[in-house]
Amino acid sequence: PNGHYSVSSDWLQRDRGVLQLDSIDFVTALRELEASNILPAAVAGIFDELNPDGTLRNIELSLTNFSKRNISLRAQIENLQARAWRGAPGVTGLSGELELDASGGQFRFYESSPFSVSFPKLYRKALAFRSARGEISWRMDGSRLLFESSDIALVPQAHDASLGVQFDVNARTRADDEPSRMRLRIGYTDAQLQNLLQYVPVTLPAGVRNWLADADARGPSPEGGFIYNGSLQRGDSENRVINVFMALDGASLNYARQWQRAEELVGTVRISPTHSSAVLTSAKIAAVPLQNVKLDILSTKAKSALTLDAGVGGSLGSALALLKDAPFGERLRPVIEDWRGGGALGNARLQLSLPLVGEQLAPDALSFNADIAGGSLYMPRLDLTLENMRGPLAYDLKRGLHSAGLRASVFGEPWDITMGPPRGQSAQGAANELYLAAEGMAAVSAMRNWLRLPVLGFASGRAAFALELEQNSERSELRVNSELRGVSIEAPLPFYKNAQREQPFAVRWDLRGDRQPMYLKLPGLLEAQFAFYEFRYAGGEVKLGAGPVSLNANRGSAIDARELQFYGSLPRFNFAAWRDAYDRYQKYASSLPLASSTLPPVRLSGRALQVRDATAFGQHVDTASVDFEDLGDDFRVFIDSELIKGEILLPTAAQADGAIDATQLAVAADKTTGRNQSGQLAFMPSLPKLASLEQRMRINLDHLHLAAPNGETGGDENDSMFRPQGLTPMAVEIRDFSVGERSWGAWQFLLSASDSAALLHKIQGNLQGLGVNSEADDGLLWAYDSSGRLNTALNATVSSQDLGGFLEKFLADPDKVPLRADKLAMNLALSWPGEPLDIEMQSLNGDVEVDIGSGRFYRASESATGFLKLLGLFNFDALLRRMQLDFRDVYKEGLSFDAISAELSFAKQRVEFLRAPIEVQSPSSKFILAGSVDLAASSIDAELVATMPVANNLPWIAALAGGLPIAAGTFIVTRVLGEQFDQLSSAVYSVKGPMDEPEVKFERLFDSKGNRKSRAKAAAN
């Protein structure tokens, strides 16, 4: 190359030659030096191994004392490339100033362009930088080549951290020398952890390197450093020291594979080949704040493990999440499921020991301990909340979740709670099991809502309960027990219980079984199995009574149909009470907290339920078989017994509640009140609009056989079956109705009621051939008056096509039948004080219109009472017998008649027949009776007009003649009366005295030409 060379001698006579060049490439320069045999052999060998390349500029090569070959080189070097050698770093693209002589050299760099440095003994990849400032010197010490650097300031190429590097190398130049040694120190400031992994030396144990790689550390590190000191020989780990130090300020890393990532780390990390540690003032794992964290990693040939000891802050809920979401959480998750906690933790610590080998990093040891003060725990699947928790709570791999004694508020009451291994079991393997026992008082209403059992709606009060929960990966079972002391059960007998009496109560709920079966037991009363679909009540079956239980026989079909089936037996049964219980059950079921769902409602049903000592509609039944089912709009009950057989359809509570609009009432008894002359029912209150009463109880009976009455009437209206406010709208059909030994035929009617009045209407009855009917909006009405007493009114028609036949069947003694007739028609418009069964002759008010067809009177008993005594008013056969006449030809077979008509008016303990007297028409005579009867005194005050044709009634003539022989009597009467004899056909008699033996006395003769009205008026006068 072109250059300048000068040779001179100094005053000491030392030869000196200087070669100055503008530039030369490194390879050419080395070749020329080697060719000139100027470089010492050792130096030339080093250059051969370094294999440098680049460009030298401003070169000054000096040679002094030629004989000793003292050579020195000064130059600027650009884009230097050199291999690493004996621990000295290799470089690529480095520029600086080079000074070199036979004993050593120095390199100063001030690079502001990218370059890289390689430490093949420490790093697998070269380290790239944007700029550098510092110097490196070297010298020979015997057979050792010593490198030493100043503090080198580096700026990494990939990030903005500031690095400082200082190293020295004691390299061997002969193979038989001791291994090369190096001391390297790297410091940094303002770095990101994700950029620092490249500075971790490969000489660290594989376990440490793998942990650092898996850690994926990220985030700010304000400062840190790396120190390497010792042998560079491969495998000579015992003769070197490696330390890594990092300060963390909000960093994150994975401290163990498969475990939750640690976040927001603040503290320091120290890494060495056998022991690494982290001391953190704060951190977060799974959003759980940790304090005073000590993390240790042991990496030896014998063991590679991680230990963690940390104070735990935050809430109980975050701590549970930490435990549940950890890899070992697969043991705990089936136990605590989706529990959610709240409230601050006190003195909480988490300790963990974890091996760092294998795919599944299962902990060797784990413990969590905390003091809970004011915490809460919610178990969503159970819908159970523990509030204001106080006491210790811990978890470890041997005992699982445990507590020596917690105090918490459950259902708003203080409860004592313990957790630990199930009773009678050792702690071994309890990590994936939970046993929770709790005891305390609770309102039974809270227990009803919690267990989602409508049947508990009948109970009220507070009692002591014991709760047990067992859970593991395969099953989850809840048990609740109580003696129910302090709880009253407002249910029909035999389930009624007062608060003082104890009644064992037990529930066992398989929360993970098919259909989540719940077993309920009230010993001696019932056993039940209920089903749930995702914790929503889905039906089941109930066995009533004691005895063997076979609850699984029909469970599948019942639940699939969303039914609650009842079977078994009841020692006593009250229909009204059970009907009310059904309505209340429907309300309880619809008010459950989780009742609103897409599932259809659960329907009730019963199959062949055996009932003893039953009461229905005031009647007693010894035994009966009952079936029932919920039809949606109606609830069907079928009863089969000697007393009653047939079905009853009850409208569901939801529909029946809206059937009566109490704000829109209309008078339904206007016909009754209008026709009643007494005015007793002028107060009659309003009834519901009959058209609005579409939802009725429908009673359709094959037979109803009631017991004979005990002779008592009336009674306490508050207990009466006729209380209007206790009645339900009904549509009734009874095909065979009897009371005692007497048949009352077949009946149909409707019943409508309000709080103050009730109406039996649209009556159709057939009583042994006697028809009783009323209009659709009229019939039998009873209501409260202004003083709060019941009064009754009746508007009905009575008819028969065989009155005599009816009387024979209806009357116990056929000899007492007072008459026979082919037809009867009566219009009744009556009222009386009291309820319908309080009807008495003396208390009647109103009118009765009577029309009787052809028939015959018979001699009736003189001791007749009631209806027969009233019917005796029409028996003119008895009156004729009391006339002082011989009418044997007339009534020797009983007085026959073609028709009878009358209108009877009842008022003030009297019955009057004046406005339309009793009129009897016979084939040859006519009788009219006008007057009144004092019902209280059982006496009559009336006049009888008897009309008979003279030509056909010679006994009449004889009577008028004072009993003379007929021929003589006829002659005398004819001579005395002349032409008036043919017109004389009527006589007036007074009828007075006791009803049983009235005195019939002839008063006067009467003109037959007068009409019926004048005769009646005359008779009345």
- Residue length, the chain? 1021
Question: Is the predicted pLDDT of residue 562 greater than 70, yes or no?
Answer: yes
Predicted pLDDT at 690 = 57
CA 721 to chain centre: 37
**Strand, helix or coil for residue 949:** coil
CA dist 14 → 40, 72, 101, 102, 716 (Å): 20, 15, 17, 17, 151
Predicted pLDDT at 407 = 94
pLDDT band per the 50, 70, 90 thresholds, residue 747? very high
Mean of the pLDDT values across residues 559-565? 71
pLDDT in tens, 667-696: 333 444 433 433 344 444 445 455 455 678
Predicted pLDDT at 336 = 73
pLDDT in tens, 599-613: 667 777 888 888 888
The pTM for the full model equals 0.62
- Pairing of β 104-109 and β 459-472: unpaired
pLDDT band per the 50, 70, 90 thresholds, residue 130? confident
pLDDT band per the 50, 70, 90 thresholds, residue 860? low
**Which are the contacts of 30, defined by CB distance < 8 A and separation ≥ 6?**
47, 52
- DSSP class per residue in 472-519: ESS-EEEEEEE--TTEEE-SSTTS-B-SSS---EEEEEETTSTT--EE
pLDDT band per the 50, 70, 90 thresholds, residue 794? very high
Q: Find the range with the poorest average confidence among 445-459, 484-498, 563-577, 888-902.
A: 888-902
3-state helix/strand/coil string of 882-948:
HCCCCCHHHHCCCCEECEEEEEEEEECCEEEEEEEEEEEECCCCEEEEEEEEECCCCEEEEEEEEEC
CA dist 125 → 132, 186, 210, 235, 433 (Å): 18, 16, 17, 19, 51
Give me 913's structure tokens. 């027949």
Predicted pLDDT at 14 = 61
* Residues 411, 416, 418: CA angle, nearest 5 degrees: 120
Which residue shows structure tokens 């209280």? 936
pLDDT in tens, 214-253: 888 899 999 999 898 988 887 787 888 888 899 999 999 8
CB 787: neighbour CB atoms within 10 A? 6
Question: Is the predicted pLDDT of residue 199 greater than 90, yes or no?
Answer: no
Predicted pLDDT at 875 = 63
pLDDT in tens, 532-556: 877 777 788 888 887 654 545 444 4
Which residue shows structure tokens 């000489």? 203
Residues 564, 569, 572, 576: is their CA dihedral positive or negative?
positive
Predicted pLDDT at 250 = 92
pLDDT in tens, 952-978: 454 555 555 444 454 454 445 444 444
pLDDT band per the 50, 70, 90 thresholds, residue 506? very high
Give φ, ψ of 775 to 5 degrees. -75, 170
The DSSP H or E segment spanning 273 is none
Predicted pLDDT at 587 = 80
Nearest Cα to Cα of residue 618 among 569, 570, 577: 577
Question: Is the predicted pLDDT of residue 433 greater than 80, yes or no?
Answer: no
Give me 824's structure tokens. 């009867």
Predicted pLDDT at 874 = 63
Question: Is the predicted pLDDT of residue 572 greater than 50, yes or no?
Answer: yes
Bigger pLDDT: 19 vs 424: 19
Predicted pLDDT at 231 = 87
pLDDT band per the 50, 70, 90 thresholds, residue 282? very high
Predicted pLDDT at 500 = 92
Predicted pLDDT at 359 = 58
pLDDT in tens, 244-279: 899 999 999 887 777 778 899 999 999 888 888 999
pLDDT band per the 50, 70, 90 thresholds, residue 518? confident
Q: How far apart are CA 552 and CA 543, in angstroms?
A: 11
Question: Is the predicted pLDDT of residue 918 greater than 80, yes or no?
Answer: yes
CA 185 to chain centre: 69
Give me 624's structure tokens. 């009966």
The DSSP H or E segment spanning 441 is strand 433-443
Contact (CB, 8 A) for 35 and 74:
no
**Which are the contacts of 732, defined by CB distance < 8 A and separation ≥ 6?**
698, 699, 747, 748, 749, 750, 751
> What does the mean pLDDT of the chain come to?
79
Longest dimension (CA), the chain: 220
Q: In percent, how much of the chain has pLDDT > 70?
A: 77
Mean of the pLDDT values across residues 997-1014? 67
Predicted pLDDT at 550 = 52
Question: Is the predicted pLDDT of residue 297 greater than 80, yes or no?
Answer: yes
